[in-house]
Structures are given as structure tokens and as C-alpha cells.
């Protein structure tokens, strides 16, 4: 079934053409550099556009020769590749397209992918050759689709960075057709100590810095930070001490089978990703589950899964009720 498009602001049906999304003969949302542009270039996700157009292939399995994105995607979703043939999948928050690549290369589904930042340009660079991909620069709150059309909707690495997480979950759920599935991941609140962390101590300052200045500062300090992190882990104090270092969680989030150069690049990227977003709002699992219920989801499961070298991921998923 073809996806029906609408103007997210007026709710009037619109058509998709090579030059853009149109109403009659009027181009409402132009097609620019591989994607349909529903929003202005400058918004609260500028940091993500900056980072993904700097680190275009860092997280792309095809480029890194590491199946970390593939393992994360299929571990989280539990989806059967064969059962996705011809299905319409919506990805919200694509970044440079690490999971877009997995859907396109490992299934025969049709992928509609949005990102609020101009990271869509990096995604197009990585995946634009595949004709089953349609890219949109759009807000999670104003997507250019008629509601309840998608067989599967997933949103990875995004919810905590939106200004209204509850509204974000509702916007995602609206897109799922009856009997379809929604799955999200997010930063969890594990206890009172969750925000007792270098990220939350420094973020009030770092999120206000220019992207260029922040990236330069991270890059110039990353080598000694990696060494100190590794030293702390080796002598058994890493779990306590490393949370106060201004560097990403190497042991808990990065794969083990990477080169020294890959480790450095991923650390720079993930540390920038820690300190630059306008929003960082971890959530309780039960809160997300409750929002799923209020959005008409059933067969809901929420919890933590482990994949690839004991990397932990917090997810909630459910099926859209047909009643």
C-alpha cells in the first residue's frame, strides 16, 4: 500500500513528486539534497546535523566493517527479516542513517525516514542509492503523513533529546496502523544517581558552546581521557570513577573489536553527542509504558536488553490496538 501524504500544518492531502511535496501545482516542501524539507534548517537539533555531517560513516556498519548497528537493531526489534518484505517502516530520527542502512541492506521493506536536523544529507550520502528509501527533514511533532499507515515504527536514540517526551511518544503512536508495532529506546532513570554524572554536571555549559569550539575541545583532550578511563577500569575502580570523567562510557556503549583509530573517533563522536544536545531527558521505563497504554498500544513490553559485548539498551515496544 502506498503511503498517503499530508501537509502537517493544514492536514490537507498533498502529493509527492521529484521536485517536492506539492499541493496542486504549488511546491510546499522542496526536495533538496536528497530529502523533502518540511522544516527550517536551523532548529534545536543543529548539533546533530553538525555531528552527523562531520562523522558521516563512523557508525555505518558497511564502512566500519563492524556489525554493531545490525546487532543493536535486530536485538532491539526482534523483527524477522523475511516478514518485512513489502512492509512500510517509519524511522524517526535517522541521524547519518546507521539503522536506515540495516533496514535497506538486510530487509526488503520500504523505509520512510525523518530527521529534524540536516543529518538527512549524511543519510542520503550513505543510503540514497537505494530506491526503497524516502527521506524527510521534519519534526517528530509535524510529520508529513496521514496517521495510522505504517506497519512498523521505530525511534532509536531520539526520545530523550526531544523537548516533550510524552508528546513525542504520542506522535509516534499516531503513525502506527492497527496491528502495527512501535518500538523506542531511551536513556533510563536507574535511580537517584542517574544525573550524578559528568554529563549532567557539564551540560549546562557545554550545550551553550559553539559546535566547533566544543568539538575542538573534546578532540584535543580525548587521548588522555581514554587512557585514564582505561586505567581506572583496569584497576577495578572504573564503574565508580569513570562516570565523573567528561568522556563517553567506553565499556558500556562501544564494541570491543575495534581499532585504536575507530575507538578514538567513536569516543570523540559519542562525547560530543553527550555534551551538545539542547535536551537530555532520561525517563523511567514504567513512565514510557504508561504512555504507550494511553496511546492505544497493547502487548507492551519494556525493559533492558543486552547485545554485542554486554552493551545494554533500554526499550519499550507494543502493538497498536485494532479497537
- Give residue 1's pLDDT: 66
Q: 278: Cβ–Cβ under 8 A, 6 or more apart, which residues?
A: 44, 45, 47, 161, 163, 207
Q: Are residues 90 and 228 in the same domain?
A: no
Q: Are residues 184 and 207 in the same domain?
A: no
CA angle 209, 55, 283 (to 5 degrees): 65
Q: Tell me, yes or no, whether 193 lies in a domain.
A: no
Cα-atom radius of gyration of the chain, to the nearest Å?
20
For residue 97, what is its C-alpha cell? 542513517
Q: How many domains does the chain have?
A: 2
Q: Are residues 38 and 129 in the same domain?
A: yes
Q: 237: Cβ–Cβ under 8 A, 6 or more apart, which residues?
A: none
Q: Are residues 28 and 135 in the same domain?
A: yes
- Give residue 322's pLDDT: 87
Q: What is the DSSP letter of 93?
A: -
Q: Are residues 241 and 137 in the same domain?
A: no
Q: Are residues 204 and 182 in the same domain?
A: no
* Neighbour tally for 259: CB within 10 Å: 11
CATH of the domain at 162: 3.40.50.150
Q: Are residues 96 and 225 in the same domain?
A: no
- Give residue 308's pLDDT: 86
Q: Are residues 54 and 80 in the same domain?
A: yes
- Give residue 123's pLDDT: 98
Which regions in the chain score pLDDT beneath 70?
Answer: 1
Q: Tell me, yes or no, whether 233 lies in a domain.
A: yes
Residue 296 CA from chain centroid, whole number: 23
Amino acid at each position: 500500500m502506498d503511503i498517503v501524504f499530508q501537509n502537517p500544518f493544514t492536514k490537507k492531502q498533498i502529493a509527492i513528486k521529484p521536485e517536492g511535496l506539492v499541493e496542486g501545482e504549488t511546491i510546499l516542501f522542496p526536495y533538496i539534497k536528497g530529502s523533502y524539507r518540511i522544516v527550517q534548517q536551523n532548529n534545536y537539533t543543529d548539533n546533530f546535523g553538525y555531528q552527523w555531517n562531520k562523522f558521516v560513516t563512523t557508525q555505518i556498519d558497511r564502512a566500519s566493517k563492524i556489525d554493531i548497528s545490525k546487532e543493536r537493531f535486530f536485538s532491539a526489534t526482534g523483527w524477522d527479516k523475511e516478514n518485512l518484505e513489502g512492509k512500510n517502516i517509519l524511522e524517526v530520527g535517522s541521524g547519518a542513517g546507521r539503522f536506515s542502512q540495516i533496514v535497506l541492506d538486510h530487509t526488503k521493506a520500504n523505509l520512510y525516514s525523518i530527521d529534524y536536523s540536516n543529518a538527512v544529507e549524511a543519510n542520503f550520502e550513505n543510503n540514497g542509492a537505494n530506491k526503497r528509501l524516502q527521506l524527510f527533514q521534519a519534526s517528530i511533532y509535524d510529520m508529513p503523513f496521514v496517521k495510522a499507515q505504517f506497519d512498523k515504527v521505530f525511534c532509536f536514540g531520539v526520545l530523550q533529546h526531544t523537548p516533550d517526551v510524552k508528546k513525542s511518544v504520542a506522535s509516534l503512536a499516531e503513525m502506527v496502523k492497527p496491528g502495527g508495532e512501535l518500538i523506542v529506546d531511551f536513556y533510563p532513570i536507574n535511580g537517584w544517581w542517574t544525573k550524578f554524572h559528568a554529563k549532567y554536571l557539564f551540560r549546562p555549559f557545554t550545550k551553550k558552546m559553539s559546535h566547533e569550539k566544543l568539538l575542538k575541545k573534546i578532540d584535543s583532550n580525548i587521548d588522555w581521557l581514554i587512557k585514564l578511563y582505561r586505567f581506572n577500569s583496569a584497576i577495578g575502580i572504573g564503574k565508580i570513577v569513570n562516570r565523573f570523567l567528561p568522556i563517553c562510557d567506553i565499556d558500556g556503549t562501544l564494541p570491543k573489536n575495534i581499532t585504536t583509530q575507530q575507538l578514538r573517533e567513536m569516543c570523540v563522536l559519542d562525547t560530543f553527542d553527550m555534551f551538545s544536545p539542547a535536551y537530555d531527558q532520561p525517563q523511567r521505563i514504567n513512565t514510557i509504558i504508561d504512555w504507550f497504554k494511553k496511546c492505544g498500544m497493547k502487548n507492551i513490553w519494556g525493559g533492558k536488553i543486552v547485545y554485542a559485548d554486554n552493551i545494554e539498551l533500554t526499550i519499550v515496544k507494543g502493538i497498536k490496538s485494532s479497537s
